[in-house]
Structure 1
Amino acid sequence: MLISLDRSSSSSLQEQLFEQIRQQILDGRLKGEASVPSSRHLAQQLGISRNSVTFAYERLINEGYLITRPMVGTYVAAVLPERAMSPAGGAAEAPAPSERRSPEKLAPAAFTGRSHAILNNSRIPIDFWPQRTDPRAFPLKTWRRLILHALAVAGHNLTEYGDPCGLMALRAAIADHVAVMRDIHVRPEQVVIVAGAQLALNLALRVLAREGDTIVIENPCSQGAAYLFESVNMRLCPIAADEDGIDTAQLARVAAQIAYVMPSHQYPMGGVLSLERRKTILEWADRTGAYIIEDDYDNEFHYGGMLLPALKAMSPENVIYLGTFSKSLGAGLRTGYAIFPDHLAPAAGAAKALLDNGQVWLEQAALAEFLLTGGFVRHLRRVRLRYQQRRNAIVAALRQHFGRVDLRGTEAGTHLAWKLPAGLPRAHQVAALARSQNVGVYTIQSGGGHEYGNADVSNDWLLLGYASLAEDQIEAGISRLKSRL
């Protein structure tokens, strides 16, 4: 196996090794069922640490290019991920040459779009991945009890379709919750249960948007939102966002049908939309007849000062409100919600029915009970304190090792943005150097953000998630980063 590593490259040794082995497999230079060298042997051959080889092998195994046989060794997979699926669910049998249809004769996919950064299969020991929460914080014992109780009273709910808009008990519980926590007063019929905030945003667009409509977005913005808007051929109007949120002075001069904003904790930069700017954006929407999509994805985690009112609370008829349990409980539950103005609720219900036939009943029933019995609020109190302590730890570690630091997003959420001090390399180079120390830090793009323009922000800022790391891990990670810089 011929491998050539460039130690001066911005890509880590693990990434180079992964890509080169993967390409050799795809090119057929490494055949299916062929054995590959042990991690120890390859590390000695290349003169690199065994950990670098191990991490590359683990990723190749996780993505289906290699397989392990206990007590025997590691081998190239007989069926690669790109060729693994067939209508019968197994390996596809290649048709005879005379039966093959040339790709040039087939119509291209009608969909055009790109996938955002949401998966992270990294095995880095200290990983500041901004999209991850603490798996140990999940209320597993309580959830098991709620699931068992729901199963005991399930009746026909597991064998029949439910309302595509969601279980009414959960919709009512969410309406009560946002009334107390966000001063949003709506009927349960205005709440639609969806598989996370990304689907909520898709649903909102299905109700509101037409091809060619103009949508205002923050810049930088959430990658998932940006790529979605591109895929439905909307005209994007990026407007700079600072520590006080989107620049509403610039917004006031724009003609658009929709504005998508994250007022409570903007992703990726972490700014909080000021009260003055909240009023200005609502005045703009009222004057132009535009709708605002308010993504309140992590409003539960606010660490100081007054929690500003939701836009939906200030203007019920102009705002579609998106919420999710991905940050507060866990992304694996795939449960979120959209709250529509009363006059849009019928259209939203019809659109949701066409998108899918509803959410899984069991998880909805358990979550409804969790909310109604006060378990969710008690859980939030515990987790908020834990995440606040970790926020304090990462801020303290950055100040200890780098002196005065320029940070955004420390007031809320589970991640912050750090502007690299003058004299340090560009963000992507710092991220690569961190990887060499088994520390994961992320650029705007690799962390799930997207910047339009000349990458003025992306070159100078890193994203650091802290929710999944203990305080001692946070200190060790920042210390290792400093030692490499």
Structure 2
Amino acid sequence: MARTARVADIASIGTLNPAAGNLSRQLTQALREAVRKGELRAGDALPSTRLLAATLGVSRGTVLAAYEQLTAEGFLTATPSSGTCVALALPAPYDAGTHPSEPAARRNGSRLPSAQRGAEQDERAIALPEPAATYARIAREFAPLAPVPFAVSVPMDVTAPGDVWRKLGNRLRAKGPGAPAGYGDPLGAWPLREAIANYVRKSRSVRCEPGQVVVTSGTQQGLFLASQVLLAPHDQVWAENPAYRGVTAVLESTGHRDTTIRVPVDAEGIDVRAAIAMAPHARAAFVTPSHQYPLGMPMSMARRSALLEWARARDAWIVEDDYDSELRYQGYPFPSLQGLEPERVVYLGTFSKILFPSLRLGYAIVPDALVDAFCGARVLMDRHPPNADQYVLAAFLAEGHLERHVRRVRNVYAAYRSKLIETLGALLPDDLAWVEPGDQGMHLVLWLAAAIDDRRVAEAARHAGVSVRAVSPMFAPGTARPGLVLGFGGFGHAQMIDAARRLAAVIADAAKHAPS
């Protein structure tokens, strides 16, 4: 395969001043400055003398003189096959306006080490705006875990979509409907919206038409859109306690830090009576009724009825995150809350977990009255979803491949889950750690003894090559319990058993050093 050189675009050399004279010296100085600033890096290819001369509107001799001078100084190298490029070993420039005390790493155009950059930023004392500080904290919280057990990982082997997805992609992306095109519908491609409506009607008892479907980049975007559409600045909103950190982070970042009411969860799901006592006039409730995150229990029918009765009486909205509803290992999946009250419930789902996380396609089923509002919010966010994979997914759904895939994944993950529970039970004494009961989803919660700091355990596990998330940050302040979220998708039995042994050692060590 032919090698394509990366030709550098050099913004600073566009500032040559013909009135100042000696353009060759100006160009030489500008190129040195570009190296100093890092606009040019070691190995970058420069434009040919002919091209650069034409671009700058100067004679070719002017460019040749500058290149020859910098080659003689060791800044540039020239070879017949590769042309002119920045030298791999750069000299310290002697005439680039650099203060003698400036670090060498900066003088030769290299990036300073992150610790040194951080120190320089501290010296400048840049105060972040409050929204920026909030988003920075969220970025640190949501840093992706290493792709080792027990991160929720890319499906592998029999749990991956495999050849069917690849063949559909080959058929639809190049010359089919998924080929590059103009702007699309903000609500998503119509064939996918039709396929989603048909799928959720059959599999989740959702009552909807394709016109109510909004294709999203996943549940996270659906949560953000719902918060933007449903909540005014001072509206109170119910959120479960504990809850998926993604929803509480959305509410905090959109101005509802002080108006989010954290409602306790018990074996029947969100405690509606407690919620009404705490904030009867809340404008919306964000819930996970099919599979509470992170604890795993479904919401009882009594609680569902009470929640819907409150929403009708108070003219409020319910945002239903149907997390992991497909993966119930005993009995039949619970029907959706939306099917009981379509005009009051915004229903959110995703294909990223069951297929593969990088797909980034999910959906919101919204009441007719909210379709235009969601469309407007979507336009301002990212205009419309990417086109190609929408058509591949539409065909995957319409041809029945997803239903077969879900059945296959459910069988495999049921075995993974049982084996992991058995392994953890053998490795960890009950007074140190125990598994939360639950019979669905792609993760389980491992509770820790009260004295153990789950955040420190998660950090120590990372150093031991094991990926887990702490549960305590998912609780409201003052109510936290220590525990770990363990994903069991995407890894084989041997990998998970080995990781479980390392995790058990980390937990045992944490217990030894925990306060009495």
Which bracket does the TM-score occupy, shorter chain normalised?
0.7 to 0.9
Call closer, same or farther: CA 1:434–1:358 in 2, change over 3 Å: closer
For residues 321-332 of structure 1, what are the structure 2 equivalents within 5 Å? 321-332=347-358
The alignment's C-alpha RMSD in Å is 3.0
Deviations 1:423-482 (A, max 9, x none): x7332343345445433333125xxx522121531xx21211111221122222223333
The yes-or-no answer on 1:246 pairing with 2:270 is yes
Which aligned pairs between 1:349-360 and structure 2 lie closer than 5 A? 349-360=375-386
The change in CA–CA distance for 1:321 and 1:409 in structure 2 (over 3 A counts) is farther
Residues 272 and 306 of structure 2 are in contact (CA less than 8 Å); yes or no, is this contact kept in structure 1?
Answer: yes
Separation in structure 1 between the aligned mates of residue 369 and residue 352 of structure 2, nearest angstrom:
28
2:435 matches 1:413: no
1:315 aligns with 2:315: no
Q: Quick check: 1:78 aligned with 2:110?
A: yes
Answer whether contact 2:268 2:297 (CA < 8 A) is retained: yes
Cα distance in 2, alignment partners of residues 82 and 313 from structure 1 = 52
Residues paired across the two proteins, number: 386
Letter in 1 for 2:215: I
Cα distance between partner residues in 2 of 1:110 and 1:474: 39
1:206-245 deviations in Å (ceiling 9; x for gaps): 2211111111001121112111111111211001123332
Q: TM-score of the superposition, structure 1-length normalised?
A: 0.73
Find the partner of 2:289 among 263, 269, 289. 263
Whether 2:339 is the aligned partner of 1:303: answer no
Change (3 A) 1:185 1:384: same
> What is residue 155 of structure 2 aligned with on the other side?
134
The residue number in structure 1 matching 2:8 is none
Q: 1:388 aligns with which of 414, 425, 443?
A: 414
Q: In 2, are the aligned partners of 1:203 and 1:352 still within 8 Å (CA)?
A: yes
- Report if the CA contact (8 A) 1:291-1:320 is conserved: yes
Measure, in 2, the Cα distance between the counterparts of 1:151 and 1:218. Answer: 41
Q: Is the 8 A contact 1:275 1:308 kept in 2?
A: no
Q: Which residue of 2 aligns with 1:96?
A: none
Pair 1:203–1:432, CA change in 2 (3 A): closer
Counterpart in 1 of 2:249?
A: 227
Counterpart Cα distance in 2 of 1:407 and 1:155 = 47
Who is 2:199 aligned against? 177
Greater relative contact order, per chain length (Cα 8 Å cut-off, separation 6+): 1
Q: Is the 8 A contact 2:172 2:179 kept in 1?
A: no
Shift of 1:306: 3.7
Tell whether 2:465 aligns with 1:444: no
C-alpha distance in 1 between matches for 2:296 and 2:327 = 12
Structure 1 segment 282-293 matched on structure 2, within 5 A: 282-293=308-319
Q: Does 1:113 align with 2:137?
A: no
Distance (whole Å) between structure 1 residues aligned to residue 145 and residue 457 of structure 2? 20
What is the one-letter code of the residue matched to 2:468? Answer: V
SS of residue matched to 1:122: coil
Find the aligned partners of 2:226 and 2:502 in 1 and give their Cα distance: 43
The one-letter code sitting in structure 2 at the alignment partner of 1:407 is V
Deviation of 1:414 (Å): 0.6
1:175-219 Cα distance to aligned partner (Å, 9 max, x none): 000000011121100000011111111211222111111110011
Per the alignment, do residues 285 and 81 of structure 1 end up closer, same or farther by CA in structure 2, a change over 3 Å counting?
A: farther
| Alpha-carbon contact 1:133-1:467 (below 8 Å) kept | yes
Paired residues of 1:243 and 1:270 also in contact (CA < 8 A)? no
User: Does residue 205 of structure 1 match 2:233?
Assistant: no
Give the structure 2 partner of residue 346 of structure 1. Answer: 372
Structure with larger Rg: 2
Partner residue of 1:20? none
2-side partners of 1:216 and 1:395: how far apart?
33
1:322 counterpart SS class: strand
TM-score by length of structure 2 reads 0.69
* CA displacement, residues 386-436 of structure 1 (integer Å, 9 cap, x when unaligned): 1111111111112222355643363111111122247x7332343345445
Partner SS for 1:206 = helix
- Contact 2:425/2:434, CA 8 A, preserved across alignment: no
Residue aligned with 2:348, SS: strand
| 1:464 alignment partner, SS class | strand
Q: Quote the residue 1:166 is aligned against.
A: 188
Given the alignment, which residue of 210, 217, 231 partners 1:188?
A: 210
2:393 equivalent in structure 1? 367
Distance 2:442 2:178 in 1: 39
User: Once the 2 structures are TM-superposed, how far is the Cα of residue 141 of structure 1 from its aligned partner?
Assistant: 1.6
Amino acid of the structure 1 residue aligned with 2:165: W
Q: Cα deviation per residue 1:95-146 (whole Å; 9 max; x = unaligned)?
A: xxxxxxx987x995866633254332536xx5212x4342443223212111
Query: Displacement of 1:268 after TM fit?
Result: 2.2
Instruction: Provide the secondary structure at the position in 2 that maps to 1:232.
Output: helix
- Quick check: 2:178–2:390 contact (8 Å CA) kept in 1? no
Gaps of 5+ in 2: 1-40, 43-88, 90-104, 116-123, 509-516
Which deviations, in whole Å up to 9, do the C-alpha atoms of 1:358-406 show, x marking residues without a partner? 1111100000000000011111111111111111111111222235564
- Counterpart of 1:398 in structure 2 is 424
Q: Using the TM superposition, name which of 313-322 and 247-256 deviates more.
A: 247-256
| 1:19 corresponding residue in structure 2 | none
The structure-2 alpha-carbon separation of the partners of 1:332 and 1:401, relative to structure 1 and needing over 3 Å to count, comes to same
Cα gap change, 1:221 to 1:107, in 2 (>3 Å): closer
Q: Is 1:426 aligned to residue 453 of structure 2? A: yes
Distance apart, 1:280 and its partner CA? 1.3
Quick one: distance in 1 between partners of 2:240 and 2:130?
30
Q: Whole-Å Cα distance in 1 between the matches of residues 342 and 178 of structure 2? A: 36
**1:23-45 deviation line (CA, Å, top 9, x unaligned):** xxxxxxxxx99xxxxxxxxxxxx
Q: Post-superposition shift, 1:153?
A: 4.2
